[in-house]
Amino acid sequence: MPEMNSGPEADVASTAAEVPSSYTALPSSRKLIRSTAIAAAVAAVLLVTVVMPAEYGVDPTGIGRVLGLTEMGEIKAQLAKEASTEAASDAAAGTTRAATASGLPQAIPDTAVPAASLQPAAAAAVAIAKTDEARVTLRPNEGKEIKLSMLKGARVNYSWSTDRGVVNYDTHADRTAAPAIKYHGYAKGQGKASDEGVLVAAFDGMHGWFWRNRTREPVTVTLRTNGDYRELKLME
């Protein structure tokens, strides 16, 4: 029989035969660096064109507005701002309630004058109820406000409705005269097409309604009022 070759050549052939046919060489350092650079570039493009417009309303390229993402980001930013304002107002209201509960003097003096102590002409003006109808048109994401000048304890019957869609609203009051009151809330809601009731003034000042249109179409709100107030004013 011929003698089998057991030298180095046989060992190399045996090793090569043992390597699986599916064996794939690892990528080189240059390929890894190139893949990493491409991934970083794609992430940067997505950040500028998708994430920033959708989350923060920032659209440096204009692509986000074309895709409708910028509007989403602007709404998110506005909602966050409104939530922050409402939280601050609620905190201030909580402080006022705590001071009242602790027995401290109230910050709002009773300045209402009895009708009997007024001159005849002034008493007649107080007794006559006013009636008004006002309209405001809100563009998408726009907010507007109508307020009534009222004395403490005055009552006004009101109703408002939209011509289409729904709005968010906040019924509240404030006063610039000393002692000033930045915000006093009566009621608020989201996604409503109408509301009605009786508004009773908690203090001398401006009392009324703020509406914001969160739809994609213009909305007209019609407000009807009847009661004891001095004037109706569209706030700028």
Q: List pLDDT tens digits, range 71-107.
A: 776 777 777 777 777 776 666 655 555 544 445 444 4
CATH code, domain carrying 172: 2.60.120.680
Q: Which domain holds residue 210?
A: 129-235
Average pLDDT over residues 204-230: 96
Which single residue is written with the structure tokens 């009051």? 173
pTM, two decimal places: 0.50
Is residue 117 a part of any domain in this protein? no
> pLDDT at residue 108 above 60?
no
Q: How far apart, in whole angstroms, are the C-alpha atoms of residue 51 and residue 58?
A: 9
Number of domains in the chain: 2
Is residue 16 a part of any domain in this protein? no
Q: How far apart, in whole angstroms, are the C-alpha atoms of residue 184 and residue 143?
A: 18
Residues 194 and 96 in one domain: no
Residues 72 and 145 in one domain: no
Is residue 6 a part of any domain in this protein? no
Q: 184: which residues sit within 8 A by CB, 6+ positions away? A: 93, 172, 173, 174, 202, 203
